[in-house]
Amino acid sequence: MSIKTKLSIIMSCSVFVILVLNIALNYYTTEENLRQDSEMKMVLTAKQIAIAVEQNQYSSNYVTRQIGNNLWLASIIAAEELDPDINNITNEELVRLSQKVGVSHISLLEQTPDDIVVTRSSDPREIGLSTKSMSYWYEAFKQLFDKHQVTIPQGQTKDHFWSDGFEYSTSSPSDVDIWGYYHDGKRNYIINPFYNNAEVDDYVKISSPNEILNKIREVNPSILEITGINPLTFGSPTMNVDGRDEKFNKLNNKPIRFGTYQYGTAEEDHRAVVKAVRTGQNVTFVSQARGQKVLKSFIPIFAPNQSSYVISIVTDYRQISSMISEQLVSHASISLVLLEIVIFGSYLLAGYITRPIQSILDKVNDVADGHFDFRLKIRRRDELGQLANRINAMIRNLGHYTNRLKQMYEENRAVKEHLESVINQTADAIHITDLEGNVLRVNRAFEQLYGWKSREVEGRKLRIIPPDAEEEMLEQHAQLVEGLSITSNETVWMKKDGSRVEVSVSTAPVRDEEGEITALISVSRDITNRNRMEELLRRSEKLTTVGQLAAGVAHEIRNPLTTLRGFLQLQQQTNKLNHRHLDLMLSELDRINLIVGEFLILAKPQAVHFQDRDIRFILGDVISLLDSQAHLHGVEFILNASSESAMVHCEENQLKQVFINVLKNGMEAMPEGGAIRIKLKYMEEQQRVRIEIKDEGIGIPEEIMPKLGEPFFTNKETGTGLGLMVSQRIIQSHKGMMDIKSVMNKGTTVIIELPSSGLQQQEEKHQEEDEEEQPPLADKEN
């Protein structure tokens, strides 16, 4: 769904919700207002009724008083006309008399021992009526007979006279009558004139508010019923549903004082009446009566001169309902029109708002497809305008960077391919491991050299380090992790099949972008062939040397042999054993043995066997081997060694070969003879042994200095040109250094430095061993 649709839906929905809320609120408040309105009206109506009732009461009182007066006057006239003894009076006489004085009827009441009874009357229905049960009436009659002033509060009292207000007749309960009672003490009866229904009809009309109620209902048709309720008797247990009560049936104590009671629900209404009287406030509620919904209001009326009462007004609720629904319909239709306008408007508005977003979206889609060569054209100053500007800038940068990225990617790819081919094509075995030693990758040469396929080793630990080299590897690993590189370390590793291979390994740490060491790259090269070659060279140089030495050795041996022969001849001639001669002969034999032994050691190919040896003794051996030859050429060796031991971890014969070659070169450079000074020094600080061999020979021309050490470079007729080369290799394999300095016609100095081996303690131990094995140096110089 597009933003436009969403926006317009959101706007429309919000307006819809507001409208619905508005209608609901309106409905509620309207209902409430209408209710309050009609309640107000009802209160007003009730007040009007109350006023009317009060006025009626006044006129009713007035009329009652007038009628009372009439009845009193009629009584006085009747008293004059009638015989004092009731026995002399006939009913016919009373008929006449009543017509004369203008009342409905006249009755006469006589006192019996326990009652007061009507005994004469113009109305035959009255005769025999007992009054004993007529509460205050009976009381009033007794007071009249006793010639007292009547003290009953009801009605009016005059001299010898008492009259009650309107009341239902006891003899004919459907009639409303008004009676007067007169007794002047001069006769044995009470004169009782009265008006009945027909006479007082008009008056009743005036005094009853029913007329007013009818009028009010005429002008206000929604009022269903108005009832005047007497709170004192309303709701008594004897009351009927229509409000009539057998017990309370007098005009002044009837539950319903005026009006009708047809919409009543006695219990509910009784509660309302009690509440209204107690609180003095009107009580209004909605109820159900005669199958319809009605609004009932109970308004308490407190009139000054009479007891309080409650006016109940029942209105038809349909009027309120219909007004509400009318209003609802009009509201809803207005809202509907409004909603349509809003939907339409919001759609337009959303379109206006989202149009730039759409165009931005289109362009962003283009960018996503990789087109950067266009710009957004949105000329607005709001946030969308700013967004468009920023997007333009972004597209520009994106285009720029994407191009650069492509370029760099290409370069990168080329470099990577190149590297890849270098790694794979190179003859050196390469393997890269992480710091834990797990293989990340190996190249083809690695596979060929060690026999492991890359899939067999990748992600695992390598098994090419033989157990005896592991310690060395751990040391190297520690150096590598600290960032140092290890170059051309010659060692022996293991192939997959378990066979050993001599390799020269260079290892370096690989760093990531942050400079952290993450991997190690090792390049190893099979040096078995090289070593074999070197061994061959070493041997051929050695053989040459041996050949050359042979003359010297022969000479050296011939001298003691001659001496021996001389002594033996002497023994033969004298036939006597001279002990001094024997000692000399033995020492000559020892010397021969030593020289031959040394010669053999040199000539014999031997297994490479590194040991801790003192250089002083090695040099001593070499000197004694060359000594006689040196003498032949008039050359003298001068050894200058410090008293400290100079222990080196070395292959003794190889070092001897070096020294023999250097010393021979020195001798050959001094055809006229001279001295060769040999200086030996242990440099404690560097833990190295330094040997300087200095001759006084012809020197080496500057231009051939760089060629020294090249195989077969010699400028001697019988030279091999291998000596220096082999010597250099040997010194290298001992992790040492060899340097040549020369001054033409002055001499040449060869400097050799070798790492000293280990602790002094060890050295001393070896020294002792050496001393046991080797004759002391001093002996050899002799």
- Contacts with ligand ADP by CB under 6 A lie at 661, 665-666, 669, 695, 697-700, 708, 713-716, 719-724, 748
Contacts (Cβ under 8 Å, ≥6 apart) of 4: 347, 350, 351, 353, 354, 358
CA–CA separation, 437 and 445 (whole Å): 19
Q: Residues 106, 196: contact at Cβ < 8 Å?
A: no
Q: Which is nearer to ligand ADP, 253 or 714 (CB)?
A: 714
Q: Which does 264 bind (CB under 5 to 8 A by kind): Mg ion, ligand ADP, none?
A: none
Q: How many residues of this chain interact with Mg ion, rule: CB under 5 A?
A: 2
Q: Tell me the closest approach of the beta carbon of residue 640 to ligand ADP, in angstroms.
A: 18
> Among the residues of 280-382, which ranges form H helices?
317-368
Q: Tell me the closest approach of the beta carbon of residue 759 to Mg ion, in angstroms.
A: 36
Q: Which is nearer to ligand ADP, 77 or 639 (CB)?
A: 639
Give the residue closest to Mg ion by C-beta. Answer: 723
Q: Which does 641 bind (CB under 5 to 8 A by kind): Mg ion, ligand ADP, none?
A: none
Q: Residues 514, 543: contact at Cβ < 8 Å?
A: no
Q: Tell me the closest approach of the beta carbon of residue 537 to ligand ADP, in angstroms.
A: 11
Beta-bridged to residue 524, according to DSSP, are 429, 505
Segment contacting Mg ion (CB under 5 A): 6-14, 401-409, 482-490, 715-723? 715-723
Distances (CA, A) of 708 to 373, 478, 654, 690, 722: 67, 38, 19, 21, 10
Q: Which is nearer to Mg ion, 209 or 666 (CB)?
A: 666
Q: Residues 129, 139: contact at Cβ < 8 Å?
A: no
Q: Tell me the closest approach of the beta carbon of residue 666 to ligand ADP, in angstroms.
A: 5
Q: Tell me the closest approach of the beta carbon of residue 664 to Mg ion, in angstroms.
A: 6
CA–CA separation, 380 and 382 (whole Å): 6
Q: Is 709 in the site for Mg ion (CB under 5 A)?
A: no
Segment contacting Mg ion (CB under 5 A): 120-128, 644-652, 665-673, 686-694? 665-673
Q: Which is nearer to ligand ADP, 126 or 541 (CB)?
A: 541
Q: Is 121 in the site for Mg ion (CB under 5 A)?
A: no
Q: Which is nearer to ligand ADP, 385 or 699 (CB)?
A: 699
| Tokens standing for residue 467 | 């157990």
CA–CA separation, 358 and 554 (whole Å): 109
Q: Tell me the closest approach of the beta carbon of residue 536 to Mg ion, in angstroms.
A: 17
Q: Residues 689, 649: contact at Cβ < 8 Å?
A: no
Q: Residues 441, 458: contact at Cβ < 8 Å?
A: yes
Q: Tell me the closest approach of the beta carbon of residue 628 to ligand ADP, in angstroms.
A: 20
**DSSP one-letter string for 324-347:** HHHHHHHHHHHHHHHHHHHHHHHH
Q: Which does 708 bind (CB under 5 to 8 A by kind): ligand ADP, Mg ion, none?
A: ligand ADP
Q: Which of 68, 264, 723, 747 binds Mg ion (CB under 5 A)?
A: 723
Distances (CA, A) of 524 to 298, 424, 426, 428, 503: 115, 14, 11, 6, 6
CA–CA separation, 661 and 548 (whole Å): 11
Q: Which is nearer to ligand ADP, 12 or 720 (CB)?
A: 720
- For Mg ion, the binding residues in 394-453 under the rule CB under 5 A are none
Distances (CA, A) of 543 to 500, 536, 652, 654: 29, 10, 17, 13
Q: Tell me the closest approach of the beta carbon of residue 633 to ligand ADP, in angstroms.
A: 13
Q: Which is nearer to ligand ADP, 282 or 748 (CB)?
A: 748
Q: Which does 666 bind (CB under 5 to 8 A by kind): Mg ion, ligand ADP, none?
A: ligand ADP
Considering only the C-alpha atoms of the chain, give the largest distance between any 2 of them, rounded to a whole number of Å: 235
CA–CA separation, 198 and 204 (whole Å): 10
Q: Residues 703, 529: contact at Cβ < 8 Å?
A: no
Q: Tell me the closest approach of the beta carbon of residue 728 to ligand ADP, in angstroms.
A: 9
Q: Which does 259 bind (CB under 5 to 8 A by kind): ligand ADP, Mg ion, none?
A: none
Q: Tell me the closest approach of the beta carbon of residue 602 to ligand ADP, in angstroms.
A: 16
Q: Which is nearer to Mg ion, 68 or 723 (CB)?
A: 723
Q: Which does 622 bind (CB under 5 to 8 A by kind): Mg ion, ligand ADP, none?
A: none
Q: Tell me the closest approach of the beta carbon of residue 754 to ligand ADP, in angstroms.
A: 19
Q: What are phi and psi of 683, to 5 degrees?
A: -95, 105
| Tokens standing for residue 526 | 């099979």
Q: Tell me the closest approach of the beta carbon of residue 466 to ligand ADP, in angstroms.
A: 36
Binding mask 270-309 toward Mg ion (x if CB under 5 A, else -) reads: ----------------------------------------
Q: Which is nearer to Mg ion, 121 or 665 (CB)?
A: 665
Q: Which is nearer to ligand ADP, 260 or 714 (CB)?
A: 714
149 DSSP assignment:
P
| Tokens standing for residue 207 | 């005094």
Of 414, 412, 417, 450, the closest CA to residue 431 belongs to: 450
Q: Which is nearer to ligand ADP, 461 or 707 (CB)?
A: 707
Q: Which of 143, 192, 312, 665 binds Mg ion (CB under 5 A)?
A: 665
CA–CA separation, 719 and 535 (whole Å): 19
Q: Which is nearer to Mg ion, 8 or 665 (CB)?
A: 665
Binding site for Mg ion (CB under 5 A): 665, 723
